[in-house]
Structure 1
Amino acid sequence: MTLDITADGVIKTRLQNLKQATTGDHQHIDDMVMEMAPFESRDNYARFVGMQYVFHRAVKPLYDASDLNDLIPGLSVRSRFDHVCADLADLQCSLPENTKPFPVPKTGMGRLGWLYVCEGSSLGAAFLLKAAGNIGLNAEFGARHLAGHEDGRGKHWREFVDQVNGLALSTKQEQEVIAGAIAAFDFFRTLLIEDRKLAA
């Protein structure tokens, strides 16, 4: 496990460092999502799920990567891409088209940063799932991808945290992880900006 000790003697883990490095990006994305009011109507929500589809389709290869599954056992079953597709089907929406190349790296530890963003979004989705009830959606219809793992959100997240914190990475690889997380937030920010232009 990678540990950093601050000036006041506080020990921080790899993912705590990662969270600190991306707090501003994370907050900006949360603010932009709330601005589009995804739970005011099913039309707004469908736009939100469309962006989720593009993002989860982009990161799906990371969940299937054999080398990452060696590092993080059980990674392949964590993907929520199929749930996003089912939600779009529930909403009777066609699958969004995306002709632009995905910026997701195919190799390297930067991929862990992308996975951190994707897995972290599942942890924070409890509030969103509750809000989905305002427009008649739930974990069995329309909001499947927002549902927590059957073992519990917290337990499922802690397992991922322990696995990633336990990896032995070089200083360069640590920087790649942070850069990957920032790139993932930037990618979703781009999707939100494009949606805002289309909705204007």
Structure 2
Amino acid sequence: MNKLTLSEALKEHSRTTHDAVDHLVMSMQPFANHDNYRKFLQTQFEFHSTVNPIYHNEKLAAQFEGLAELSRLERVKSDMKDLQVTAYGKDVEVPSYTDDEAIGWLYCVEGSNVGAAILYKEAGKIDLNDDFGAAHLAAHPDGRMPHWRSVKAKIDALPINDEQRQAAMKGADDAFAYFKRVVRKVYGVAE
């Protein structure tokens, strides 16, 4: 039996959690109106601020070409500026992660850009687009799927052992769990 690639293993490992995150986000109705969307931007800012150091991790960048350019934090900030949104900034506990766990976090963040196609379409219904308020949801210039295949190939090419692979799985779990905590906190929903 062939061993799953790291990206396949991460997908398999986090399928249920990923679906739960999607369900939670949509249950907050982030695209019902601009006020709900402003809260969505606050969650995105917290999350992208937390993962931003991964894009500037020298060890990972040495093995992952073009890593720094993938960060969407500046686009989130631009969207916030468009809609006059300030950071949530209230007691959101920021998790830490090891270099190996960061791979799982990266998988989650970059994978979210594929799912953002649906979110981007929803944002259009409340007059938001890549020029105003929804730049961070816009597709990568290469296209969503070609970009995602490229990211997965780079993740799969990382030289890691079984222990590091397990750490990446933990990182994916932690990333999804953290995002759910942030969504609940910003939207004022109990666990």
Distance in 2 between the 1:134 and 1:104 partners? 36
Corresponding residue for residue 69 of structure 2 = 77
Task: Count how many residue pairs are aligned between Structure 1 and Structure 2.
Answer: 190
User: For 1:187, what is the secondary structure of its paired residue?
Assistant: helix
Does 1:135 pair with 2:126?
yes
Shift of 1:168: 2.0
Distance in 1 between the 2:93 and 2:180 partners? 16
31, 35, 44: which one pairs with 1:43? 35
Corresponding residue for residue 24 of structure 2 = 32
Contact kept, 8 Å, 1:126 with 1:146, in 2: the verdict is yes
Task: State which structure, 1 or 2, has the greater radius of gyration over its C-alpha atoms.
Answer: 1
Distance in 1 between the 2:99 and 2:49 partners? 19
Contact kept, 8 Å, 2:104 with 2:171, in 1: the verdict is yes
Corresponding residue for residue 13 of structure 1 = 5
Name segments (4+ residues, structure 1) moved above 3 Å: 98-101
The one-letter amino acid of 1:91's match is: L
Corresponding residue for residue 148 of structure 1 = 139
Contact kept, 8 Å, 1:104 with 1:111, in 2: the verdict is no
29, 45, 50: which one pairs with 1:58? 50
Corresponding residue for residue 15 of structure 2 = 23
145, 150, 154: which one pairs with 1:159? 150
Normalising by structure 2, we get a TM-score of 0.94
Does 1:169 pair with 2:169?
no
Distance in 2 between the 1:78 and 1:196 partners? 27
Corresponding residue for residue 60 of structure 2 = 68
Contact kept, 8 Å, 2:5 with 2:156, in 1: the verdict is yes
Distance in 2 between the 1:146 and 1:55 partners? 14
The one-letter amino acid of 1:146's match is: L
Distance in 2 between the 1:197 and 1:38 partners? 13
List runs of 5+ in structure 2 lacking aligned partners: none
List runs of 5+ in structure 1 lacking aligned partners: 6-10
Shift of 1:147: 0.3
Distance in 2 between the 1:181 and 1:41 partners? 30
Calculate the aligned-residue CA RMSD, in Å.
1.5
97, 119, 129: which one pairs with 2:110? 119
Distance in 2 between the 1:65 and 1:189 partners? 24
Distance in 1 between the 2:174 and 2:189 partners? 23
